[in-house]
Amino acid sequence: MNTQALFPWFKRRFPRIWLTVLRLWLGFSVMLWAFWWGLTEGASDAYGWGAMVSLLLGLGLSVQGAKSGWTKVVWRHLPGLVVFMMLESFKGGWDVALRALAPQPQTRDYFFDYPLQLQTRWARDLWTLLVGLMPGTVAVKAAASEVEVQVLDQAMAVDASLSRLEWHLLKLEGSR
């Protein structure tokens, strides 16, 4: 059913950005309220307060998201990024545990500059934050087109996993 044929005034009064803000507001509000419900362990006296805070915070996040380009995110690629990061975090935890249990932990750290192809600021910021969860890596200094990365050990091959993380974020931002 074509809503524009039924309601020709709809497009004039509600531009696409406001529909996106409304969709983001509802989504954020539901997620925040579910988070609130979990924090309060389902206490019935906290429903009203949680709903009010969730609606207000959700509105602020949705307006900010519409301004900064979150509306262009291809959300169907998010599960792939989540699974990738869970596997990488597990590998990172395993590596830390093995190094902690070793009698003489071997670390020969080094720094290198990683060139980023990500176009949006939020994707570059997210890449910088997620690198710290990957095995043996920490993002040290970020510029517009490259990030200085510290690697814990010279024996670790991190280039493939860093480019795979960037590939997932490129898909999420709609560049690939």
CA distance 91 to 71: 32
Residues 147 and 138 sit within 8 Å (Cβ to Cβ) = no
Exposed e or buried b per residue across 142-169, where buried means at least 16 C-beta atoms within 10 angstroms of its C-beta:
beeeebebbbbbeebebeebbeebbbbb
CA distance 135 to 149: 12
DSSP character at residue 51:
H
Q: Which sequence spans correspond to the domains of the chain?
A: 3-72, 75-173
Confidence at residue 29, expressed as pLDDT on a 0 to 100 scale? 78
Range with top average pLDDT, 29-38, 40-49, 74-83:
74-83
The stretch 11-27 carries a mean pLDDT of 67
170 pLDDT band (50/70/90 cuts)?
very high
18 pLDDT band (50/70/90 cuts)?
low
**Among residues of the chain, what percentage have pLDDT more than 70?**
84
